[in-house]
Structure 1
């Protein structure tokens, strides 16, 4: 498996600091969610791992080897972003071109994905919807089966059915062909079930880098009848509240004490780890989207 290591990586361009002292260990064979507000540096970080942008300071290693524009030749790392809507090339020709660049390309897998997404192979990219173009981009990343696969906002514009197909196919394919997958996305709740680990950026710096299992240490969502929830969280810090009819969910930072958990049980309240959107709001100080 190919680990990705970044040591004190900083990138400065045109007088602006886009990445600021980023140090990360992305363990091989796992799915890493890369989240954060717009402009936080997610796309820049992926470009650096792919070798497209050299750091101003620091080092980037993939599989123990330094990343430079000359060292990768697209064989170990694949970065896929959205495509332009006015491209007249057909989906079939796009897949054929991608196959010529990727030694581990699986055409059978790519065609099956297109069929499941409901996208005709002969249709020009210019006639695809935003979600369909995202589906083609995701297919290019997954079917390439590079040891390190980087997907940048690959599900933007997809409807619920397409996202379900994406999640199902990713999980199935990773069972057959384990690799390191990094997914940058704003759809943190929708794709969160895919992640083993989460990296959160804000202002070009890492503010969170832990496993999904650690979310419970950073906050608890208290769920139940509105009056019961209000009574329970009275006197506690609440970072977010949401109501749906008579049911309310309140996000409380940190782990509840045993006595607090017992009191919640007595009041028949449900407790769950804080959601990724709530965590992002808590750590960045920005309103929950």
Structure 2
């Protein structure tokens, strides 16, 4: 698996890859901080990615600039906080300003070869395309529709400029699980893995992961990453069996 000079660099690099794979409608970069807006999309797409300098003055300045940016657009500031990536002191500053902590997430990585081997034998077939098909979009919306507006989410996918693969797991004639992978400088990120409730436990998600890993390996990636909520126990078990291991935890803080 690829490595980078230090853990902080690796975490930052993966989070920035994830931001490019889930591109916000508007991104303003100020002193290394990514101020993102994505009206109608899942809320985390429009959070601040604070990859700027540390130090009390720099952190407070970044927070004030972010608050001004979101207030100017009629919204509230929401920050992605990664202790492994910094900037140091940001979490404490936001807590003191009354920001609510929520949504703990696990950033995980795995070798492509390990994920590819995880497919196993199931009755599920997988179809793959380089753009989201109508069936892919409908299945994803059926599972995760509450995360964002269907039109806005479709526009987000249309903004992805990097090589991508969209996988559909088919049981009989029905698409029962979907996922996508995005290739970026030797890494493949996994996003939108979703299985219809009636098809869970039948290996569909496992087949989607393996198909995306096969595509990633064929396109020169030797490592994969994904982000999963730390309270999503079934997903954590699936990813652990597929060879993923936690690199770091992060969470969010939102202005009240």
Q: TM-score range by the shorter chain?
A: 0.3 to 0.5
Return the TM-score normalized by structure 1. 0.31
Structure having the higher Rg? 1
> TM-score, normalized by length of structure 2?
0.34
- Select the structure with the greater relative contact order (CA < 8 A; seq sep ≥ 6): 2
